[in-house]
Structure 1
Amino acid sequence: MQGRPVGDVSVKIGGNAHGPVAAGVGHVIRVNDAERDAAVGTESGRRPDLLAAHRVVVTTDVQRSSSRNNVGQRRMRRALEECVHAGAAALGVVEDSFEVVDRGDGVQVVMPEAVTPVDVLDTFVEAVAKALREHNAAASDGYRIDLRAAVHVGYVDRVSGEWSGTPLVHAARLADAPEVKRALEEDGDACLALVVSDAVKRVVDEGYCRIGPAGYRHVAVLVKGDLG
């Protein structure tokens, strides 16, 4: 992450994600390059399509979001946008390279090509957690945000402005896993539960990240479509 330009980061919520279902196992933690992109077409005002782009993806879901009324939903979305903005700013990415997709009760982030899993765990997640803690400290109980986040890495495609690929669905399934919801529910002090895929866990196990394997609570996560 040396030498990356730093500037104002605009996080825009909107869009949809599509992709087939994939399965996997993850691990829970409480948080207190040559790219192989292929440009296959460009239109005015739209980014070129990308095939087999190797990216880190992050999916988030707000715990108990359905219990909020319309006012609560609006405040939740604004607060979440600010937290994601804080994470992007901490990474120091250029404004138009940080791509966020609205998931209703959360967001999906496709990281810029230069951002590694280490950057995401050590910088992005920590900044989001810090922003969450600050929000919760100032908010009433009814507007507190407890967030589940999953980090995965793999090959994704962007066609006609839409991201797709099994890593996106895999991360979404991990963030929505009952075991992750329960881990966050049972710890009243935690504001964020992070689940990492096996691919990202290997990076942690190699000792690249500030929080090593001992800092994780190991939980078997069975997600939709898991045949094992």
Structure 2
Amino acid sequence: MRGLPQREVRVKIGRDAHGPVVAGDGNVTHVNASTPVPAVDQGPPADLLAAHRVVVTTDVQRSSSRDNAGQRHMRRAVEGCVLAGAAALGVAADVLDVSDRGDGLQVVMPEAVGLVDVLDTFVEAVAKALREHNRASGDAYRVDLRAAVHVGHVDRVGGEWSGTPLVHAARLVDAPGVKDALGEDGDACLALVVSAPVKQVVDEGYCRVGPAGYRHVGVVVKETSCDGWWRLL
């Protein structure tokens, strides 16, 4: 079978550079290098159903007590710490799915990031960045953070994530017992609370901190009643 008819044309790029190209029948546009090429609108990411992901929900302790300046500082600090955690994972900021919860962030991890990565690398890096922020900022802008880690099947429709794992993580992070523990400890800056499926991975010995490093808490928040396990960093 014969291919499309071809002819040699010359495309001028910029002022001096030019060269032969082969083109089929159709129009050839002369491109000037000084003319910006319009960006292609990729549109919203494709919908995903039943995507198995690790989710992390964060919440700032006593966030409502801050004035407007304090709220702005708090939001910048939390975002910076979460991005530090992503960098420790080797995940680019534009790949991380982050949603603003007002007094915290909701993170849906990329598919390749597993629970052990989140507990051993992401959470530890967030806590490290938070300690550095608090040392530099002093008591006036100190940020203490609670973070809940859960795993399950979530949906992404129209670029937005939804699903019961996100709701469950939001309930875990609001556990009164975890709030109290963080508030009473003057040295810790982050309280990590994990769900039962996450705790099973911890119990199997895969993570740097084993089951002995966690304490049990009963979580009764709104319509949720469940078990959680927490530790302070």
- TM norm. shorter chain > 0.5: yes
Please state whether the residue corresponding to 1:57 is helix, strand or coil.
Answer: strand
Partner of 1:85: 83
Cα gap change, 1:95 to 1:75, in 2 (>3 Å): closer
Partner of 1:180: 178
Determine which of 136, 139, 142 is the counterpart of 1:138. Answer: 136
| 1:1-228 to 2 correspondences below 5 Å | 44-226=42-224
Please state whether the residue corresponding to 1:148 is helix, strand or coil.
Answer: strand
Distance 2:106 2:133 in 1: 20
* Count of matched residue positions in the alignment of Structure 1 and Structure 2: 186
Cα gap change, 1:193 to 1:95, in 2 (>3 Å): closer
Distance 1:164 1:181 in 2: 25
Distance 2:97 2:208 in 1: 25
**Displacement after TM superposition at 1:59 (Å):** 0.1
Q: Which stretches in structure 1 are left out of the alignment for 5+ residues? A: 1-42
Q: CA RMSD in A?
A: 1.3
**Displacement after TM superposition at 1:227 (Å):** 5.5
**Displacement after TM superposition at 1:95 (Å):** 4.1
* Deviating more after overlay: 94-103 vs 164-173: 94-103
Please state whether the residue corresponding to 2:94 is helix, strand or coil.
Answer: helix
TM-score, structure 1 length as denominator?
A: 0.79
Superposed CA deviations along residues 32-62 of structure 1, whole A, max 9, x for unmatched, are xxxxxxxxxxx94211000000000000000
**Displacement after TM superposition at 1:94 (Å):** 3.6
Larger Rg: 2
Superposed CA deviations along residues 139-171 of structure 1, whole A, max 9, x for unmatched, are 121200000000000000000111000000100
Q: Whose RCO is larger (CA < 8 A, sep 6+)?
A: 1
4+ long deviations beyond 3 Å: none
In terms of fraction of residues, the more strand-rich structure is: 2
TM-score, structure 2 length as denominator?
A: 0.77
One-letter amino acid matched to 2:153:
Y
Q: Percent identity?
A: 78
Superposed CA deviations along residues 168-201 of structure 1, whole A, max 9, x for unmatched, are 0100011011111111111111100000000100
